[in-house]
Amino acid sequence: MFAGFAVRAGHCRLKQIMSSSRVEHSQWGGYIEYAVVTDVGMRRTTNQDAHSIVLASDEEAWARRGHLFVVADGMGAHAAGELASRMAADGIPNHYLKMRDVPPWEALRAAVEQANAEVHARGQANLDFFNMGTTASVLLLMPNGALISHVGDSRVYRLRGNRFEQLTFDHSLVWELQAAGHPTAGAPDSAIPKNIITRSLGPNPTVQVDLEGPFDLREGDVFLLCSDGLTGQVADEEIGTILSSLPLATAAEVLCDLANLRGGPDNITVILVRVLREPPATTVSQVATAGSRPVAVIPAWFWIAAASDVLLAVALAVLGMFLAAAILGGAAVLSLIGALLYRLTAGQSGGQLVRRLGKAPYRSVACQASRSLVQKFDTIVRQLQEAAAENFWKVDMDQFNVLVQQAAAAASDQDYDRALHCYARAIRCMIDGLQGPSETP
């Protein structure tokens, strides 16, 4: 089952390190830690996924603009998909950070829209890139909550306690049909392809961007951004349980390994972000009082009403109907006062969103290490053992076998969290041995 994995392992590892740069696990300001893994998979020769992580430069920037995480999954022949995803992953943070005087949720939407326009223009200018596209899932963390912008079928999840929630709606034909009242559209025997997406950046000059949130931040929350190379091979219950049972960096690697061990038909990108502690109330308050101030747009009916009243008042005055002219003139003044009051009060929120956007969560599952999941991992490691023996893999089987024995003992004691942890370490031991030593650039 895993014979081909040994052949491709060194190539996959090289792609992963080049894409994830120097740091896969880091801390910022004591508030968050993150891990990132990206991998070409088992059947692709290039990685058309792209990602970006842009952390705030200081406390003030964290309070005003937050930390930004992006995953993009490109589509297109030749190098088009790779170009489209990289343009989105680079362009969205750049556009967002330039809009300093725009509320974060508006800046987030506008940044994705601008990235779409750029990808579309590039595709129209070159036949090799025609109709190229990419998904884009963006997580913005600020002291007063998390915001998400989303186009396509890459996903954003949140693990809180033992609940694993999908916070984005898949813009895919299957999900759209299910939402329209066809629940069997995603059934295993359904003839509807699961990989057809209905919305992406690039093919069209404009795009509809979903916004979700804000979601409050609690200590221990884990957010996951990923391409469908992960979710196509690993079920939500498995992902959530792995996240709840393993250290962040280990969980990211094991999720990628699991997708590859199940065939790895697509590129895989995983970004995990854990909230280490809730932002202090003073920081949240500062954001609420000193955040970007929205520019209120006065509705057209204000100006129409005021202009109509002024014109009628002038006409009545010319006709000598001074009382009526005075009444209409007063109405015009009241309209102008109303416009000023609207402009002032619309900015009183200090740039804070006072209502929840979107309809998340779209799916929610309970996640807890269980006997059935441990048995799945036991099956995987047994198959790895057999493949290692049959193909003479040069790995540290002594360490691998010790971890498998520890996992079996923990499972016998019904300590499923520890069993899962040991099995995951055994898988990592095997994969690390196959990939061999490598230096991060």
Residue at 98 is within a domain: yes
pLDDT of 195: 80
State how far the Cα of 245 lies from the Cα of 26, in Å rounded to an integer.
19
Residue at 85 is within a domain: yes
Looking at the fold, whether 240 and 386 belong to one and the same domain comes out as no
Residue at 146 is within a domain: yes
Looking at the fold, whether 110 and 230 belong to one and the same domain comes out as yes
DSSP characters over 132-145? -EE-EEEEEEETTE
Beginning with the edge strand found earlier in the chain, give each strand of the sheet holding 32-39 in spatial order: 25-28, 32-39, 268-275, 222-226, 155-160, 163-166, 363-366
Last residue of a domain, one of 272, 290, 308: 290
Looking at the fold, whether 85 and 227 belong to one and the same domain comes out as yes
Residue at 358 is within a domain: no
* Average pLDDT taken over every residue of the chain: 83
Mean pLDDT of 412-437: 85
Looking at the fold, whether 272 and 340 belong to one and the same domain comes out as no
Domain count across the chain = 3
Tell whether pTM > 0.85.
Answer: no
Mean pLDDT of 314-336: 71
pLDDT of 194: 78
pLDDT of 23: 37
Looking at the fold, whether 308 and 286 belong to one and the same domain comes out as no
State how far the Cα of 185 lies from the Cα of 194, in Å rounded to an integer.
9
Residues 288-317 have pLDDT tens digits of 444 444 444 455 555 565 666 667 767 767
> Which one-letter DSSP state was computed for residue 31?
T
Last residue of a domain, one of 290, 313, 328: 290
- The radius of gyration of the chain's CA atoms, rounded to the nearest angstrom, is 27
Q: Compute CA distances 351 → 55, 190, 236, 365, 396, whole Å.
A: 20, 46, 35, 34, 56
Taking alpha carbons only, the member of 84, 72, 82 closest to residue 44 is: 82
State how far the Cα of 321 lies from the Cα of 430, in Å rounded to an integer.
94
The answer, yes or no, to whether residue 218 has pLDDT greater than 70, is yes
The alpha helices in 262-321, defined as continuous H runs, are: 281-290, 300-318
Residue at 366 is within a domain: no
The answer, yes or no, to whether residue 169 has pLDDT greater than 90, is yes
Looking at the fold, whether 285 and 305 belong to one and the same domain comes out as no
The answer, yes or no, to whether residue 183 has pLDDT greater than 90, is no
> Which one-letter DSSP state was computed for residue 172?
B
Top-confidence residue, 172 or 392: 172
Residues 248-263 have pLDDT tens digits of 998 999 999 999 999 9
Q: Which of 99-103, 149-153, 345-349, 387-391 has the lowest mean pLDDT?
A: 345-349
The answer, yes or no, to whether residue 345 has pLDDT greater than 70, is no
Tokens 């006709």 found at: 319
Looking at the fold, whether 166 and 308 belong to one and the same domain comes out as no
From the number of C-beta atoms within 10 Å of its C-beta (0-12, 13-18, 19+), residue 196 rates as exposed
Residue at 54 is within a domain: yes
Looking at the fold, whether 136 and 171 belong to one and the same domain comes out as yes
Percent of the chain's residues with pLDDT above 90: 54
Looking at the fold, whether 341 and 319 belong to one and the same domain comes out as yes
Mean pLDDT of 387-411: 90
Question: What value, to the nearest 5°, has the Cα angle with vertex 133 and ends 269 and 227?
Answer: 15
The alpha helices in 99-142, defined as continuous H runs, are: 104-125
Residue at 364 is within a domain: no
Looking at the fold, whether 397 and 271 belong to one and the same domain comes out as no
The answer, yes or no, to whether residue 22 has pLDDT greater than 50, is no
Residues 44-70 have pLDDT tens digits of 989 999 999 999 988 888 888 999 999
Other beta carbons less than 10 A from residue 432's beta carbon? 18
Q: Which domain does 34 fall in, by range?
A: 3-290
Amino acid found at 148: I
Mean pLDDT of 358-387: 92
Contact predicate 28/68, CB 8 Å: no
pLDDT of 28: 53
The CATH number of the domain holding residue 230 is 3.60.40.10
Tokens 């001074």 found at: 322
pLDDT of 441: 38
pLDDT of 292: 44
Looking at the fold, whether 17 and 109 belong to one and the same domain comes out as yes
State how far the Cα of 320 lies from the Cα of 318, in Å rounded to an integer.
5
Query: pLDDT grade, residue 186 (50/70/90)?
Result: confident
Mean pLDDT of 189-211: 89
Residue at 237 is within a domain: yes
Looking at the fold, whether 41 and 108 belong to one and the same domain comes out as yes
